[in-house]
Amino acid sequence: MHHASFAMNLYYQANGRHLADCNFINSGLVSLIDPSYGNCSFHSGGGLADEEPSETWCVAKPGTSDELLQLNINFACNLVDCNATHSGGVCYYPATLINHASYAMNLYYQITGRKKSNCNFRETSLIVSSDPSYGNCSYPCFTVQ
């Protein structure tokens, strides 16, 4: 996944940083937070070329350890309803920690007013402007006024 993310980012940066340049058959997410980690630095051209997005979601950063993902799930699910990620829930599959953490972290971020500080999670998260929903699993996005 890291190699694909790096290549997709290079394409996005080289083509003007427009949301349409990061679609990749609905598999790309535009991050509003630097996705760099460890010694891997993602080239950035200076932010979004399009307007500041009105809809944003909080998702787990690829490469986050299972231990930190589980801590994020525990924290968020103590404060929000994570039943959608439980067995039989609409967001249970794929049954991976990164997907369950992303759903829980986003719900916490949305309920607490979509502030950047509410999507920190020990620097294991990204704020994205592309809807991460899939299939019947809908990631909430509340409008902040």
pLDDT in tens, 83-141: 999 999 999 999 999 999 999 999 999 999 999 999 999 999 999 988 999 999 999 99
Separation of alpha carbons 80 and 23, rounded Å: 30
Could you tell me if 126 and 35 are in contact, meaning their C-beta atoms sit under 8 angstroms apart? yes
- Which whole number is the average pLDDT over 57-81? 96
Global pTM value: 0.71
Does 140 fall in a domain?
no
Q: Which two tokens stand for residue 26?
A: 């609905």
Does 60 fall in a domain?
yes
Separation of alpha carbons 68 and 145, rounded Å: 32
Per-residue pLDDT, 142: 86
Q: For 4-50, what is each residue's pLDDT tens digit?
A: 666 666 666 666 566 666 666 666 666 655 666 666 665 665 554 44
Does 93 fall in a domain?
yes
Does 31 fall in a domain?
yes
Does 124 fall in a domain?
yes
Look at the chain and report how many structural domains it folds into.
Answer: 1
Does 11 fall in a domain?
yes
Separation of alpha carbons 62 and 69, rounded Å: 10
Neighbour-count burial of 115, counting CB atoms closer than 10 A to its CB (0-12 exposed, 13-18 middle, 19+ buried): exposed
Does 65 fall in a domain?
yes
Does 133 fall in a domain?
no
Q: Is the dihedral of CA 95, 99, 105, 108 positive or negative?
A: negative
Could you tell me if 110 and 90 are in contact, meaning their C-beta atoms sit under 8 angstroms apart? no
